[in-house]
Structure 1
């Protein structure tokens, strides 16, 4: 059973995903992300969930994935 995570923690994990996946993350940004992950066990849980979600969407055809995200 998954723990309920605060919206703010989920939102932060999503923001980190966007920052790290778009553009070229700097070493400073990667260190800040590592510090964020280590600061609270819930951060790592949220990061894992965001990664699971991204992997799930990666396996979907582009059209249905886009439609799902827009809904």
Structure 2
């Protein structure tokens, strides 16, 4: 059995997974993040990026070799 984490992947795969994670976070909690960013005068894109990175560690990665 091989266990990999996000940092063991090549940069192209990391970018694709981060993009997928951003879409996932935005679909689940985009409205709440926008409201939080507006209330606290934060950058929405930076918040989305942080949440997407946290979300990646909730994924189970499956690879076909």
- TM-score, normalised to structure 2's length? 0.36
**Greater helix percent: which structure?**
1
Select the structure with the greater relative contact order (CA < 8 A; seq sep ≥ 6). Answer: 2
- TM-score, normalised to structure 1's length? 0.34
